Structure 1
Amino acid sequence: MVDIRDVEVIALNFKRRLSGVTSTIVQLVPCQADLGLRIATLGVGLPDSLPKIAWRSLWRLWSPPPGRSHRIWHARRNNEMAVGVLLRDGLRMPLKLVFTSAAQRRHTAYTRFLIRRMDAVIATSGRSGAFLDVAHRVIRHGVDVARFRAAAQSQPEDAGDAPLLVGCFGRVRHQKGTDLFVRAMIELLPHHPQWRAVVCGRVTAKEARFGETLTEAVSKAGLTDRIRFPGEVDDITPWYRRLTLYVAPSRNEGFGLTPLEAMASGVAVVASDAGAYAEMVVPGETGAVVPAGDYEALRDALALYLADPVAARRAGEAGLARVSADFALAGEARAVNDVYATLLDPYTRGAEA
């Protein structure tokens, strides 16, 4: 635990189950701290490596940190916003409230009520920003280009000996379009013997039957040796580096980091237009973008790259350059820190006057 009296920014995570929001906090907070920000987390489900403050220390929020007149309370969920409003407006604690929105839909009336009480709002994509009724800044998520990198071939033991691999990573569920990927592989792989496919991701108890239908379909097609299901893996990075082509077939998505992780690993990407995917992938340059839920469009886009691995490798090289230039995690950290500065600096100058 760190001393809350020295903390300028509190990053919140009030949900225990691992999610995209949790992943963002885990990656972003250390990078923000490396830039000199005095930041700590509050909540559950976070690794011990992150700086944290204790719930019992919240009473100290009545006193701002040295050199500041306020602290930042950074929320990414409704309950986190609501607690911040209570602390600032109900208990009169010197807080500035920031909210990050990734939703790809119009917010509920309750969420809009809370958002209007924020001091600053961040949208993770232009698409999510279009659903906001308040002033906001678009800051797209970044990826750790030191962790996700194109490197010498690093092959997981059970990836098989296929020279070319196409993959789909993430939760195995209908929303993620895993069935669309498997269906396309069953149809296409018999025509492209040099390729194999891999699906890495957790199957929850709720989605157990969905996962079973996929493995049954693969078995029925006689492709169990060419379409693999390793499940959830401890480290996904070597799997990305083994790929020649990555597929993100989500039917709907908040933001979605996996295409960026693949591109940072030097891999071509075929993605749906769910979430912010269309803002990441440049069609014809770093991969292809197809309408979400459109099986035929997905299949046809994949068929082009399966038939032309050289084009896939060129797209992977272009994707790596794009991520390095526009989607590095350090860039996201600097931009978010800048939002904090616009809220804190005026009060700092006033305090120093």
Structure 2
Amino acid sequence: MTEPVPEKVLHMCLSRSWGGLEMYPARAAQALRMLGWEAHGLAARGSRVAESFVSAGLPCLEIPGMKLAPLWIKRVLDYIQHNNIRVLHAHKSGDMRIAALCVALNPELQLFFTDHMGVTKPKKDVYHRWAYGKVNRIFSISDATYQRNIAAFPVCPEKISRLYPGVDLTDFEFPFGDGAREQLLGSIGIDPSRFVIGLPARISRDKGHLEWVRALGALRRRRSTDDWTAVVIGATDTGNSEDVRFLGQLQSEISEQKVDANIHFLGFQKNILEWLKAMDVVCVPSRNEAFGLGVVEAMAAGTAVVGAETGAIPEVIGSGGGRLVSPDDADAWAAAINDLMDNPHDRSRMEETARQRVEAAFSMSGHARKLIEHYQRN
């Protein structure tokens, strides 16, 4: 008997940055492959996105980049035709120039777009009406962004669906006992008996680092600095001049709050899941998270979360899955962290609730099944 031909999808992301948006396409493609689909990637040549497709063992077409993408339309269309691909899935607004052009030249293609950023600026000019007019469905990554998408995109509301991203829960199932934690913390000189407060986010003003440092200053005024250590995991050199200026301001604030000896900047870490497990509490002070992948990863790792009560963070945490605090209230942040330090049993209950919520709402396998439903329905 002849084996059935797998259905095929091309995930495209021409961004040269590296964050939750850029990590998603290869992860989703892997999950689709596990469900029998043949998933391909389209990425900027030499980008981290391209590397992620290749590392996952997925075929990837690399082109020079977003600005020159339309010049490579024939190469992309030839690749699509050669591999008999019928579904395109774009992840960056700039990708839509080549994605919509592909559909215009090959109307048999279906096009899907995920808005990872929670767009607020209306996209209803002539170009955007043409480009998004080629889309079969737009995915909003949270309820918080769904209404923004309805207002911003030039498509009827029936073409927009909320679809939470997911995480692969098996990634979090590796053994990580006290010995592994001690070794990891000891590698950067942290006493493992200390309470570890983490912030996993690249250095950027919108991620809330400044407010977090002020919260740590308020915590210092509440209790001894010998009790705790703070860890920042995320790129410090983003190549953005505004981020460079902000890093200088952040370092000045750290000195002013007198918490210099308590904060460690680790930069980007490939073993981020180990670090999430090593932390006692993860803080997410971002003002406007469209989803909050860091929140979900911390919850899946079994680590307590304190998040800003803004954007999508409250809906992601849900009832009992973490603490919510006003992003500007340093004393409230300090009180929440202090309470979790003093009440390990409450912290354990919160962690268990959070893990159950991730299993129910944010698994990558469940996300991939819903993607397939949409791919096959349109």
Q: TM-score range by the shorter chain?
A: 0.7 to 0.9
5 Å matches for 1:203-282? 203-204=236-237, 205=239, 206=241, 207-282=243-318
2:288–2:312 CA contact under 8 A, matched in 1: no
> For residues 148 and 192 of structure 1, what CA distance do their matches in structure 2 show?
32
1:104–1:253 CA contact under 8 A, matched in 2: no
Q: Deviations over 1:238-260 (max 9, x none)?
A: 11111111100002223220011
Name the structure 2 match of 1:316: 351
Change (3 A) 1:230 1:92: closer
The CA deviation at 1:304 is: 2.8
1:189–1:196 CA contact under 8 A, matched in 2: no
5 Å matches for 1:55-74? 56=75, 58-59=77-78, 61=80, 65=84, 71-74=86-89
1:160 corresponds to 2:175: no
> For residues 6 and 356 of structure 2, what CA distance do their matches in structure 1 show?
38
2:218–2:330 CA contact under 8 A, matched in 1: no
Give the one of 119, 122, 126 matched to 1:107. 122
User: Which has the bigger relative contact order, CA under 8 A and spacing at least 6?
Assistant: 1
Name the structure 1 match of 2:214: 183
Give the one of 111, 121, 140 matched to 2:138. 121
Which amino acid letter does the alignment assign opposite residue 266 of structure 1? G
Change (3 A) 1:179 1:80: same
The CA deviation at 1:221 is: 4.4
> For residues 124 and 330 of structure 2, what CA distance do their matches in structure 1 show?
34
1:21–1:76 CA contact under 8 A, matched in 2: yes
Q: How many residues align?
A: 333
> For residues 113 and 81 of structure 2, what CA distance do their matches in structure 1 show?
21
Larger mean CA deviation between 202-211 and 51-60 belongs to 51-60
What is the RMSD computed on CA atoms of the aligned residues? Answer: 2.6
Give the one of 340, 343, 349 matched to 1:305. 340
The CA deviation at 1:63 is: 7.2
The CA deviation at 1:130 is: 1.2
1:52 corresponds to 2:65: no
Larger mean CA deviation between 333-342 and 128-137 belongs to 128-137
The CA deviation at 1:295 is: 4.0
1:141 corresponds to 2:165: yes
Change (3 A) 1:95 1:314: same
Larger mean CA deviation between 179-188 and 125-134 belongs to 125-134
Q: State the TM-score, normalized to the length of structure 1.
A: 0.85
Q: State the TM-score, normalized to the length of structure 2.
A: 0.80
Identity over aligned pairs, percent: 25
Which amino acid letter does the alignment assign opposite residue 165 of structure 1? V
> For residues 106 and 292 of structure 1, what CA distance do their matches in structure 2 show?
23
Change (3 A) 1:222 1:126: closer
Which amino acid letter does the alignment assign opposite residue 330 of structure 1? S
> For residues 306 and 96 of structure 2, what CA distance do their matches in structure 1 show?
35
Change (3 A) 1:97 1:188: same
> For residues 301 and 237 of structure 1, what CA distance do their matches in structure 2 show?
23
> For residues 216 and 146 of structure 2, what CA distance do their matches in structure 1 show?
35
Give the one of 191, 197, 200 matched to 2:230. 197
Ranges in structure 2 where 5+ consecutive residues have no aligned partner? 64-74, 151-156
Change (3 A) 1:317 1:258: same
Q: Which has the higher helix share?
A: 2
1:174 corresponds to 2:209: no
Q: Deviations over 1:78-97 (max 9, x none)?
A: 232232222222x2342111
1:290 corresponds to 2:331: no
The CA deviation at 1:319 is: 1.1
